[in-house]
Amino acid sequence: MQHRIVVLGAGYTGAVAAGRLARRLHRADVTVTLVNPEPDFVERVRLHQLAVGQELKPRPFEEIFAGTGVTMKLARVTGVDVDRRAVTVTPAGPAGAAPAGGAEVLEYDTLVYALGSTWNDGGVPGAAEHAHEVSSRPGALRLRERLAALGAGRPVVVVGGGLTGLEAATEIAEARPDLRVTLATPRVLGDWLSDKGRAHLRKVTDKLGIAVHEHTTVTAVTADGVTTAEGGTLPSDATVWTTGFAVHPLARATTLHTTDHGQITVDASMRSHSHPDVYAIGDAAHALGPGGKPLRMSCASGVPMAWQAADAIAARLTGTKVPSTTIRYFQQCVSLGRSEGLIQFVTADDRARDSVLTGRLAARYKELICKGAAWGVAHPTAGLPTRRRRLVPRPAPAARTAARTGASA
């Protein structure tokens, strides 16, 4: 019997993991099925660009995985039973539209859980109804339509001063200098950056005419503005919510061990602490980096996690040594519109160093990072050995069913 590997989610992490597994393992021994509701890869790190009217290059999965041995299944994941080793999916229509058929059950021997995250409204009244998000392609397209309908002088409020908020606010302000863009953050602007980084960030927001409201917590959103904890209001014809991310809720509904936030706890090889036949990567996983600090939700964390998981699975299945590499950070890359950027160099555990790169050179640097990430997805087998390894003999199906052990992959 072939070993069945099912990968849930085809964002940066899921797509990279699927391609890497297909390259490392012999096709006669394994099947690799990648489940995703959309037929194209979404460059999530560019969705703020899509929101202001820029077009993104289409990247169809059928082209990306042609000839790799990865089977693409266009479907939405509706249930995961890790004790039965089964996933329930609902086939999606064209371009991830309405369901095209009834539920289907996919059985697996190894599961790679990469369902990622979406925006988090934090339970703030009115946010879900009136705010826009840029964590998904549909959300970015809705914001794009709304911004295009706004006339000169109309107010836009971006809530949240993290990386997503900074990129959204500066992109909107640069693309639409006729709008009045406000950034509301509960902390000091760029407080995690070095002194040089904060100074450059302030310079750019001032240059773009962005009104920055620090120490401002938004407590309610309406169709025409936001209310703050201080009792004030900020007028807004388009509110963009970027206060954080929430992981897909499916993991918490299973018997997998998860954190209070719903992330699957994993070891250094991205293997579930509670179910050794499950690996979790990207935003869905709670993995520890240097100094025992959790890896942050980001592409910078997710892609190395995908490499780690794929290589560990391949090693365990083929009876070779499981590689051990500590995932670390080198920089935080922030686009501040198309002509400005900020590269904050960081320690291995993600603390700001004194060194930064700014201006057009930083913008080009960030662009290379984005292109490199997309290229890695579009060429999932590049740079890997051409010789696929064969699997070591496994117990008979009845024996595997009778006893779930930590030796299974």
Flag whether 280 is in a domain: yes
CATH number of the CATH domain containing 183: 3.50.50.60
Domain span including residue 158? 122-242+329-378
Sequence-separated (6 or more) residues with CB below 8 Å from residue 53 = 144, 147, 148, 175
What's residue 97's pLDDT?
53
pLDDT tens digit string along 12-49? 999 999 999 999 999 899 999 999 999 999 999 999 99
Residues 99 and 200 placed together within one structural domain of the fold: no
Q: What mean pLDDT, rounded, does the chain reach?
A: 92
Residues 108 and 152 placed together within one structural domain of the fold: no
Domain total for the chain?
A: 2
Which of 195-200's residues contact partners 24+ apart within 8 Å by CB, and which partners?
195/354, 196/354, 196/355, 196/356, 196/358, 197/342, 197/344, 197/352, 197/356, 200/342, 200/356, 200/358
Written as six digits, the tokens of 72 are 């693409």
β-bridge partners, 196: none
Mean pLDDT score, 117-131: 96
Residues 212 and 338 placed together within one structural domain of the fold: yes
Residues 223 and 359 placed together within one structural domain of the fold: yes
- Give pTM, 2 decimals: 0.91
Flag whether 34 is in a domain: yes
Mean pLDDT score, 286-297: 95
Flag whether 409 is in a domain: no
Flag whether 20 is in a domain: yes
Report residue 395's pLDDT band, with 50, 70 and 90 as the boundaries. Answer: low
Written as six digits, the tokens of 303 are 């892609």
Packing angle, helices 359-378 and 299-318, rounded to 10: 30
What's residue 50's pLDDT?
97
Residues 203 and 315 placed together within one structural domain of the fold: no
Q: Pick the closest to residue 122 from 261, 292, 287 (CA basis).
A: 261
357: left (phi over 0), alpha (psi -120 to 50) or beta: beta
Phi, psi of 324 (to 5 degrees): -130, 110
pLDDT tens digit string along 239-256? 999 999 999 999 999 999
Q: What angle do CA 26, 41, 327 make, to 5 degrees?
A: 65
